[in-house]
Amino acid sequence: MASKPCAVCKILREPCGTNCIYKPHFTSDSARFQDVHQIFGAVNVAKIFNRLGSEDREIAANCLSYAAEARRRDPISGVYGMKLYYESILNDVEQEIRSALNELETNLGPDQVPKFFDIPIPDDFLNTTASLDSYIEKIKNLTTVEKNNLLQFWKRENQKMGDGASTSAGPSTAFGEKHQ
């Protein structure tokens, strides 16, 4: 018995063999391909896939699916509308953080509020898929000496901030050099 053709081959009315480049990404009953086909067209998807290597096709399939779903939800703005929506949420959160920091500075004094932009970030932080839970576990497993060293770091940073130097210049140069 022959296997069912993938969603792309079915629409293009092409034979769907075992080495079909679309089959791993759009199965025969793929509801996700219906949105992609409606927005971009099966012929355009085929052109895109034929230009890409096998390692990039999964990324392309996910991007096309994401963009098609965004366009289905918001026919006018699509992905751009989602970007604007999430940017507005981010701006609201940043405003709440600034407000909370101002309130802390008012109640505790500016020299008692920790400066979170100086928190050391591991070099592999952006390369890992680890959640915050793994870092919390690492902190819980620190030895007493390691915890004291971390506290000393905070005391040194607070002393630097209390030396009369302006804090309006932004993050320290060590942070800027490390993450540029």
Domain spans of the chain, in order of start: 7-73, 76-109, 114-180
CB atoms within 10 A of CB 74: 15
Residue-wise pLDDT tens digits, 103-155: 888 888 888 777 766 666 677 766 665 556 666 677 777 777 777 676 665 55
Q: What is the pLDDT of residues 150-176, one digit of tens each?
A: 666 555 555 555 555 544 444 444 434
Burial of 30 per CB tally in 10 Å (0-12, 13-18, 19+): buried
42-51 and 54-73 helices cross at what angle (nearest 10)?
Answer: 150
